[in-house]
C-alpha cells in the first residue's frame, strides 16, 4: 500500500490536490523519512536491517531502492558503535536518523546518547551542535518478556539537552518525526509497537510539521482530565468513550506528544477546568512520567484540584511472559476507568 492510499474521499486542498490521506502509523513514519530524505541531502538513515531487510517493523521499506546505500545504511549489531557514528556525523553537519530496533537495546548505547549527544552543545559553548534523531519503539503486550517490553521514556526525558517525543497517532508520527529531523538538537522519537498498524488521517503537505513541546487536547471534556502519551493516549481515549456511555462522565484527554520539553500549560489549563487529573503511562510509575506530571499539576493547579492526582502505570515487576500475567501487569482500560471513578468519588 502506498503512502497515500487508503482514503476513498480524501480532503481537497485549494489546488484540488488531496490534503490528507488515511494511512497506518508505520506508513506515516515512512512518508516522513521519504520526504526529509528528498528535501535535505544531509539526512541519512542508519541502523540494523534498515536497508535490505527494510526495517524490523518495515518502517524503512522501499527507502534503500529509492535513495541508495549511501543514504540508507545497514549497520553491524553494535548499538554503541553506530549511535556513536551518528553523533560524530551530526557534529560534522550531517543529519543522521538512527534506528534502534527496540528501546531496550538503547541501554547499550546510553553513554553515547546521555554523555555525548545530549551534552555536546553545552560543552562546546554552542559552537557545535548535534542534529541527531534516534527512532525506537517501546511498548508491551506482545509477550516479548521482561527484557523486550519496557518503557524507558521517563529515564531519557530526565536528561537535559535531549528532546523526547512520543507520538500517539499517525498524523503526529509523521509531523513529530519531521520536526525532529529539522531540529538542531538531539531528539529521541519513541514509537510504539502496538500502534504501528493503527490508521488515521495524515496531512500530505511535505512542509507540515507537528511542533515540538506542545501537547494536544485529543478529546474535550468537563469532569476529569486524563493526561497520557503514546499508547496510553490510545487507551485513555477508549476509556473516555466508555465513561461517557456507561456513566455519563465527560473526560478530557490531553496527549502530551512531547515529554521534553513538557507542555505544562496545556495540562494545567485542562485540570483547572475539570478540577481532577488522572495521569496514565505504560511505564513503571515510580520516578516516572506520571510522577513528574503529578508534581507539576499539584504545583500549577493546587487551588483548582478537588481530589488528589491519580496515577496509573505498569505493575512494578519485570513483565511476565504468560499472557494472563502480562495483561494483569499492564495499565489496561479497566484500571484507568477505576482511577477516574475513584477521583470522582464513585469507586
pLDDT of residue 15: 60
Phi-psi region of 239 (alpha: psi -120 to 50; beta: other; left: phi over 0): alpha
Distance in Å from the first CA to the final CA of the chain: 46
Radius of gyration of the CA atoms of the chain, in A: 20
Specify the pTM: 0.93
CATH architecture for segment(s) 20-203 = 3-Layer(aba) Sandwich (3.40)
How is residue 130 annotated by DSSP?
-
pLDDT of residue 130: 97
- 117 to each of 24, 90, 94, 154, how far by Cα in Å? 31, 9, 14, 18
Residue 174 in contact with residue 203, Cβ under 8 Å?
Answer: yes
- Residue 261: asked if its preceding bond is cis (omega within 30°), the reply is yes
Say whether 216-343 and 20-203 share the same fold: yes
Residues of the chain with pLDDT under 50: 1-9
pLDDT digits (tens, 9 = 90+) for 112-140: 999 999 999 999 999 999 999 999 999 88
**Cα(263)–Cα(306) distance, integer angstroms:** 22
pLDDT of residue 18: 78
Residue 330 in contact with residue 282, Cβ under 8 Å?
Answer: yes
CA dihedral 164, 168, 174, 177 (to 10 degrees): 10
**Cα(307)–Cα(305) distance, integer angstroms:** 6
Tell me how far the alpha carbon of residue 277 is from its chain's centroid: 21
**Cα(283)–Cα(280) distance, integer angstroms:** 9
| Domain residue spans of the chain | 20-203, 216-343
Q: In 213-321, at which residue ranges do the beta strands (DSSP E only) sit?
A: 216-219, 224-228, 251-255, 258-260, 277-280, 310-312
Q: Which CATH class is domain 216-343?
A: alpha beta
> Which active-site residues does the annotation give?
79, 148
Amino acid at each position: 500500500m502506498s503512502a497515500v492510499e487508503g482514503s476513498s474521499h480524501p480532503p481537497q486542498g485549494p489546488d484540488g490536490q488531496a490534503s490528507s490521506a488515511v494511512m497506518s502509523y508505520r506508513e506515516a513514519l515512512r512518508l516522513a523519512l521519504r520526504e526529509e530524505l528528498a528535501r535535505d541531502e544531509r539526512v541519512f538513515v542508519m541502523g540494523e536491517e534498515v536497508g535490505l531487510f527494510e526495517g524490523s517493523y518495515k518502517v524503512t521499506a522501499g527507502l534503500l531502492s529509492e535513495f541508495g546505500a549511501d543514504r540508507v545504511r545497514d549497520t553491524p549489531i553494535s548499538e554503541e558503535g553506530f549511535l556513536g557514528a551518528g553523533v560524530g556525523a551530526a557534529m560534522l553537519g550531517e543529519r543522521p536518523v538512527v534506528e534502534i530496533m527496540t528501546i531496550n537495546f538503547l541501554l547499550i548505547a546510553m553513554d553515547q546518547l546521555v554523555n555525548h549527544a545530549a551534552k555536546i552543545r553545552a560543552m562546546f559553548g554552542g559552537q557545535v551542535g548535534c542534529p541527531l534523531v534516534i527512532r525506537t519503539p517501546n511498548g508491551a503486550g506482545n509477550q516479548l518478556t521482561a527484557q523486550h517490553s519496557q518503557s524507558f521514556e521517563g529515564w531519557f526525558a530526565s536528561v537535559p539537552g535531549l528532546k523526547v517525543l512520543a507520538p500517539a497517532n499517525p498524523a503526529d508520527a509523521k509531523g513529530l518525526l519531521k520536526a525532529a529531523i529539522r531540529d538542531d538538537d538531539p531528539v529521541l522519537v519513541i514509537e510504539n509497537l502496538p500502534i504501528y498498524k493503527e490508521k488515521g488521517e495524515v496531512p500530505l503537505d511535505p512542509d507540515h510539521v507537528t511542533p515540538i513541546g506542545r501537547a494536544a487536547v485529543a478529546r474535550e471534556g468537563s469532569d476529569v482530565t486524563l493526561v497520557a502519551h503514546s499508547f496510553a493516549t490510545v487507551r485513555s481515549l477508549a476509556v473516555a468513550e466508555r465513561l461517557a456511555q456507561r456513566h455519563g462522565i465527560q473526560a478530557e484527554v490531553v496527549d502530551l506528544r512531547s515529554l521534553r520539553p513538557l507542555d505544562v500549560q496545556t495540562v494545567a489549563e485542562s485540570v483547572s477546568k475539570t478540577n481532577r487529573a488522572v495521569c496514565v503511562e505504560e511505564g513503571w510509575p515510580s520516578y516516572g512520567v506520571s510522577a513528574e506530571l503529578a508534581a507539576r499539576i499539584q504545583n500549577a493547579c493546587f487551588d483548582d484540584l478537588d481530589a488528589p492526582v491519580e496515577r496509573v502505570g505498569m505493575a512494578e515487576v519485570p513483565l511476565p511472559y504468560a499472557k494472563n500475567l502480562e495483561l494483569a501487569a499492564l495499565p489496561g482500560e479497566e484500571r484507568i476507568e477505576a482511577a477516574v471513578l475513584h477521583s470522582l468519588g464513585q469507586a
